[in-house]
Chains A and B, each alone.
Chain A
Amino acid sequence: MFDTALSAADLIFLAKGAGMTIIVTAISVAIGTVLGILFGVIRVQLGAVLAAPLTFFLDIFRSVPLLIQLVLANAFMGMVLHLRFSGFTIACMVLSLYTAAYCAEIVRGGIGAVPATTRRAARSLGMSWWQDMRYIVAPLATRVALPSWIGLALGVMKDSALVYVVQVTELLKSTQILITRLQEPLFLLMICGAFYFIISFPLARLGGYLEKRWSND
Chain B
Amino acid sequence: MKTLTMAAALIATTALAGTAQADKLDDIIASGTLRCAVVLDFPPMGMRDENNNPIGFDVDYCNDLAAALGVKSEIVETPFPERIPALMSGRVDVGVASTSDTLERAKTVGFSIPYFAFEMAVTSNDASGIKSFDDMKGHTVGATAGTFEAIALEKQINEWGDGTFRPYQTQADVFLALSQGQIDATVSTSTVAQANVKTGNFPGISVVGKAPFDTDYVALFTNRDEYGLINYLNLFVNQQIRTGRYAELYEKWVGGELPALTVPNAYR
Contact = CB atoms under 8 A, between A and B. Distances in A.
Interface of A: 7, 9-10, 13, 71, 74-75, 78-79, 82, 84, 166-167, 174, 177-178, 180-181
Contacts of A167: 76-77, 91
A181 B22 contact: no
Given A79-B89, A84-B33, A167-B91, 11 more contacts: A7-B50, A9-B51, A13-B51, A74-B89, A74-B90, A75-B90, A78-B89, A78-B90, A82-B22, A167-B76, A177-B40
Nearest to A177: B52
A75 B50 contact: no
A184 to B, nearest CB: 14
B48 A181 contact: yes
Nearest to B31: A84
B51 A71 contact: no
B48 A180 contact: yes
Looking at chain B's contact residues, the main secondary structure is loop
Contacts of B88: 75
A82 B27 CA distance: 10
Contact of B89 (A10, A75, A177): A75
A82 B131 CA distance: 57
Contacts of A71: 89
B47 interface: yes
A79 B91 CA distance: 9
Point out which of B40, B41, B51, B90 has the most chain A C-beta atoms below 10 A from its C-beta. Answer: B90
Interface centre among B40, B41, B52 (most CB of A within 10 A): B52
Contacts of A10: 52
B52 A181 contact: yes
B50 A166 contact: no
Interface in B161-178: none
Contacts of A181: 47-48, 52
> Which are the 7 A-B pairs with shortest beta-carbon distances?
A78-B90, A75-B89, A79-B90, A180-B41, A181-B48, A13-B52, A75-B90
Contacts of A74: 89-91
Contacts of B91: 74-75, 78, 166-167
